Copies of this chain bind each other. A is one copy, B any other.
């Protein structure tokens, strides 16, 4: 991977001066076009060996372009906020929106490589983390992002020379630390590990671009040109005639039997029995959430269901017994403009609870495979890939200690009609019923199919779906509380 980056590439001062003015103008133009189009974001990763000029180039890019549209992020050791979230969380939250450029100094590759160089992970673990990254980047590309990965390389000899010369000059001496020399001693191992990682993560859409870091002029011009070419190519993209990208259709059940029709929606609970259960489970939940062991875990509750199925009421029965400082409920409506400028999971990434905390989602990321599928707000390919992306997301949550419990509250079409009518009659409930609700009803069958496909594809042993018979609100609320208590109890016992 490093062949071309050990040839002693260099650009003379004159040649540099000749080219740089034109390049800056063109970059600035491209940046404004990018911003105006607002069609996709640009993520620039700068990695490589110490002393290869990563910092200088990043500064220069900010100088060359309009820094107001660039988000430069550097990552050191994870904060406590970060270490209590999935590994990728710190990156999720620093992605710039469409139309902007993000420059990442230190990025999702840094820790996997260094941990392996220091032998604090095994090769198999490195492979797993790499695959997590490859899937993450594929999702970013599928969401439209332009991902550019630069690797600044120095030969061993060149790195030594560079560190020495930095050290000699009083103005740059501060930049060379003991840990730089420590790392230099492990040059060969670092090279071997990073070669493996670069090879395994160079995909067609997000390839690594390896650049020799020795000569600043060469390095800076190369990065600038590559950035410009990649942005221009994407900005000037023309539509072409191509075969439609179709995915194999999901077969429907031939006998009208599915996980929804298998439910007996008319199970019910009398109020007296309900009050008893409510007291019992709310008390239990309160205690469970205060268990010391929960401080190493977190809880993610997902509520999905038919319109008017009683999600809000069920959620209130849960929150009633929780400390307000411990939980947040996240009502999910149509995405805002800010949210639409990001990958669709972004607005949920922001709400991932830290350890000891609870996030309750009133509707969730499953909108992608429910309303967005049925209403054709997402293309077939986009919602079809979401199943795997959601499973990956939930796995990352689970690996970080989250307990994930997902509810589908199901009511019959008749019961929904009754509730809609009732809402229209009751003044203080009228805000809860809109023409859209009536429109959604017309697609009842399509929603049912989407729900069944969702349950089949995303009910996993790390995050299974609980289908709740909700024609009777009391029964539904009790079942929700009971499920949460049982899950929590078993998770906090085992771990």
Contacts and interface: CB of A to CB of B under 8 A. Distances in A.
B203 A385 contact: yes
Nearest to A232: B249
Contacts of A391: 199-200, 202
A259 B388 contact: no
A238 B245 CA distance: 9
B254 A222 contact: yes
Contacts of A196: 460-461
A131 interface: yes
B247 A229 contact: no
A240 to B, nearest CB: 5
13 contacts: A9-B257, A10-B255, A124-B127, A127-B127, A127-B131, A131-B131, A195-B460, A195-B461, A196-B460, A202-B391, A207-B248, A234-B246, A240-B243
A9 B251 contact: no
A204 B247 contact: yes
Given A131-B131, A225-B254, A460-B199, A384 B207 contact: yes
Nearest first, the 10 A-B pairs at minimum CB distance are A124-B124, A204-B385, A204-B384, A226-B251, A230-B248, A240-B244, A239-B241, A229-B249, A131-B131, A4-B456
Given A4-B452, A125-B124, A240-B244, A207 B460 contact: no
A253 B459 CA distance: 50
B455 A255 contact: no
Contact of A218 (B7, B254, B465): B254
Interface string A254-269: 1101110010000000
Interface in A174-210: 192, 195-196, 199-200, 202-207, 209-210
A4 B454 CA distance: 11
A295 interface: no
A146 B248 contact: yes
Interface string A121-155: 01011011001000000000000001010000000
Contacts of A195: 460-461
Interface string A143-173: 0001010000000000000000000000000
Given A259-B4, A388-B203, A456-B210, A229 B251 contact: yes
A234 B243 CA distance: 10
Counting contact residues on chain A (CB < 8 A from B), the size range is 35 or more
A338 interface: no
A221 B254 contact: yes
A65 to B, nearest CB: 18
Nearest to A39: B243
A381 interface: yes
A233 B246 contact: yes
Given A124-B127, A202-B457, A239-B242, 7 more contacts: A8-B257, A9-B253, A124-B125, A202-B387, A203-B388, A210-B456, A234-B246
A58 to B, nearest CB: 18
Given A3-B455, A257-B7, A257-B9, A381 B204 contact: yes
A207 B262 CA distance: 24
Interface string A454-495: 011101110001000000000000000000000000000000
B249 A233 contact: yes
A79 interface: no
Contacts of A200: 391
A205 B207 CA distance: 22
Contact of A259 (B7, B148, B207, B387): B7
Given A4-B456, A226-B251, A461 B192 contact: yes
A333 interface: no
Contacts of A427: none
Query: Which of A10, A127, A391, A456 counts the most chain B CB atoms within 10 A?
Result: A456
A264 to B, nearest CB: 13
Contact of A1 (B3, B237, B456): B456
Contacts of A209: 248, 250-251
A245 B242 CA distance: 10
